Amino acid sequence: MKLEIRKNGDPILREKCKPVIVIDEEIKKLASDMLETMYSADGVGLAAPQVGINKRMFVIDVGNGPLVMINPRILLRIGEENGREGCLSIPGLWGEVARAQKIDVEAMNLQGDKVRIEGDSLLARAIQHEFDHLNGILFIDKATQLIDASSKKEE
């Protein structure tokens, strides 16, 4: 089921999310609904608070198949690179954001198993972007330059 994506200004986007305690059918359904919502919006990632749920989980697909990350922890950040980011919760706005080039993250999957993922490039950027959502941080808080995509006007 497609969910409503919350937009900038919605207070839940600024909340620090609570850990997922039990991975039950409700969490599995939420993950499925989040993936459907993300794909229908042409996104590469979507965090639970973006659909109004205060839980530490997000979904990502940068072209290698879907990932569901529950209670993620970034263990290691290596290097830094600037890149353009947008957000489904802030449509029409892009920004240049500095992120780690490579990351090592640990999370739980839908089976409740701990998984460790090493990511670079777009995967690393997407994980860091979605991880920020779990802490109430939006990309516009870190962007050095904001661009209105609808008018191509820089702020």
The catalytic residue positions are: 130
What tokens does 108 get?
């739980």
d(CA 23, CA 86): 30
State how beta strands 145-148 and 90-99 pair: antiparallel
**What's the number of CA atoms in the CB half-sphere (13 Å) around residue 142?**
20
Looking at residue 71, the DSSP 8-state letter turns out to be E
